[in-house]
Amino acid sequence: MKFEFTYEVEKVVMEVVKRTMDSMDIPVERIHEDSIILSGEIEEKEMQALSKGLAPYGIKINTGNTLSLLDQIKALIKKYVRGDYDRNISISKMLSDELGYSYSYLSNHFTSKTFTTIENFYVLIRIEKVKDLLMQEDKTLSDIAFSLNFSSVPHLSGQFKKVTGLTTTQYLKIRNNTINTI
């Protein structure tokens, strides 16, 4: 019997957090894509227990605006790729507007911390999304290119090959062979 799983990482993470909080009887007012608002205050002891309960899943708790600038940049790029922002606005303008710094400053900060550029990170995140979308049989390369703001199918294909070393067809063939052998 063959099983294939496709999932959205953000939804899985939020479900793990929600279930962990429910099991600890921590009241939640609202869950939003990348944040949770509690109904009331939580004691330090409960916060530590929650943090310990989420740690095996690689989930860290950040309160208030304690996310580092680097983490904020990464989170915004992921949201941009998901389509949470108007694609007619450039990623550089979106980052500058959201974070209140010049793009030059953000770019230098990002590169100094990661040794890669924002543009390279953006391409990597888009290619990861392409991989997910390729597994959905109802999506064509044209649909994927349009939804992820690639200028054309050849542009998407070229970026995919540059990042993965494979064409989209080769990737799907390898992926399907791997799934079939499981």
What local confidence, expressed as pLDDT, does residue 168 receive?
A: 93
| Secondary structure class of 62 (helix, strand, coil) | coil
Contact 79, 71 (CB under 8 A): no
- Token pair 């063939």 is at which residue? 173
pTM of the model: 0.66
C-alpha span between 181 and 160 (Å, rounded): 25
State in words which class domain 67-181 has.
mainly alpha
Size of the chain, expressed as the number of residues it contains: 182
Tens-place pLDDT, residues 38-72: 777 778 888 888 888 888 888 777 665 557 899 99
**Residue in 128, 157, 123 with CA at minimum distance from that of residue 140:** 157
> H-helix or E-strand containing 30?
strand 28-32
Confidence of residue 110 (pLDDT cuts 50, 70, 90): very high
Over the chain, what is the mean pLDDT? 85
Q: How far is CA 6 from CA 97, 131, 133, in A?
A: 33, 11, 9
Backbone angles phi, psi at 120, to 5 degrees: -65, -40
> Poorest-confidence range of 104-108, 136-140, 155-159, 169-173?
136-140
Which tokens in the block code for residue 2? 């063959």
Backbone angles phi, psi at 39, to 5 degrees: -75, -25
| Secondary structure class of 37 (helix, strand, coil) | strand
pLDDT surpasses 70 at 12: yes
pLDDT surpasses 60 at 182: no
DSSP state of 148: T
CA dihedral 174, 157, 137, 88 (to 10 degrees): 140
Tens-place pLDDT, residues 14-34: 788 888 888 888 877 776 656
Domain boundaries, the chain: 9-57, 67-181
For the chain, report the end-to-end CA distance as a whole number of angstroms.
9
> H-helix or E-strand containing 59?
none
What local confidence, expressed as pLDDT, does residue 92 receive?
A: 95
